[in-house]
């Protein structure tokens, strides 16, 4: 069985400051891991994915995430937040059977 | 190549009616997933299907909900005798499947179901 825990339901940062959204996973296999973003009243968009290549993954809009097997973590970071980054972010784990499981989501608020 | 298409985008049903939500996966994708997003909650897995097979329905409510992905045509999520608590956004995703490199899912825009 696999699962994902997003440690913060809500994160608030000021524009121009770093963003850290935390994600821990549990999987019986070497998982694939993803971060998706959902803007208000929109569908989900893939930010980045890890599929056993480089452990530091760069995504769109300046986001990146580092796969740390020893910590079973896949935290999402960005050096400098922008107002347009305000959205809901979902960490997702997928096993070899393509079964995808979502975390509960983290709502990111960016203050001017 | 069109993305994942969900229709309708918005659906209003009275209590007791049936709701049918459709999802056409991306071309070449044979794996479909349905998720439900309740207000103020995250995405909850409902069901994972391949063509003509239900692989994992552990997230589906035991009653009133069913899903199918026929050989031809879109995947259908069917909710019978809807209740107010069924009001939510329902997202469909598709992937190629068949191994680690093909697990990326592409999402539709969702169907927002309102039960009045």
Please say if the pLDDT value at position A83 is more than 70: yes
Span B23-57, pLDDT tens digits: 999 998 888 999 998 876 778 889 989 988 998 88
Query: For position B103, what pLDDT does the model report?
Result: 65
Please say if the pLDDT value at position B101 is more than 60: no
Tell me which chain A residues have a C-beta less than 8 angstroms from the C-beta of B93: 44, 100
| Nearest neighbour of B43 by CB, restricted to A34, A90, A99 | A90
For residue B68, the 8-state DSSP code is: E
For B69, residues 6+ apart whose C-beta sits below 8 A from its C-beta are B32, B49, B50, B51, B52, B53, B75, B76
For residue B40, the 8-state DSSP code is: T
Please say if the pLDDT value at position B100 is more than 60: no
Residue B113 binned pLDDT confidence (cut-offs 50, 70, 90): very high
| Nearest neighbour of A44 by CB, restricted to B91, B98, B102 | B91
Task: Characterise B30 by phi-psi region: left (phi > 0), alpha (psi -120 to 50), beta (else).
Answer: alpha
Please say if the pLDDT value at position A61 is more than 60: yes
Burial of residue A72, with CB atoms counted within 10 A of its CB: 0-12 exposed, 13-18 middle, 19 or more buried: middle
For residue B32, what are its two tokens?
A: 């479909």
For residue A39, what are its two tokens?
A: 């803007």
Q: What is the CA radius of gyration of chain B?
A: 14
């Amino acid at each position: 069985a696999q699962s994902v825990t997003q440690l913060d339901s809500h994160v608030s940062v000021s524009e121009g400051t770093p963003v850290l959204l935390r994600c821990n996973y549990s999987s019986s296999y070497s998982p694939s891991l993803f971060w998706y973003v959902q803007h208000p009243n929109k569908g989900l968009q893939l930010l980045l994915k890890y599929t056993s290549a480089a452990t530091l993954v760069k995504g769109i809009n300046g986001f990146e995430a580092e796969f740390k097997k020893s910590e079973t973590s896949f935290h999402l970071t960005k050096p400098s937040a922008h107002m347009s980054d305000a959205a809901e972010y979902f960490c997702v784990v997928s096993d070899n059977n393509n079964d995808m499981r979502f975390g509960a989501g983290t709502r990111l608020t960016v203050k001017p | 190549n069109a993305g994942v298409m969900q229709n309708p985008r918005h659906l209003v049903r009275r209590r007791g009616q049936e709701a049918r939500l459709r999802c056409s996966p991306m071309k070449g994708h044979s794996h479909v997933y349905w998720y439900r997003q309740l207000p103020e909650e995250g995405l909850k897995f409902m069901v994972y299907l391949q063509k003509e097979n239900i692989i994992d329905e552990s997230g589906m409510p035991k009653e009133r909900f069913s899903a199918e992905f026929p050989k031809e045509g879109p995947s259908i999520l069917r909710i019978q005798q809807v209740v107010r608590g069924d009001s939510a956004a329902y997202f469909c995703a598709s992937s190629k499947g068949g191994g680690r490199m093909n697990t990326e899912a592409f999402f539709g825009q969702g169907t927002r179901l309102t039960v009045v």
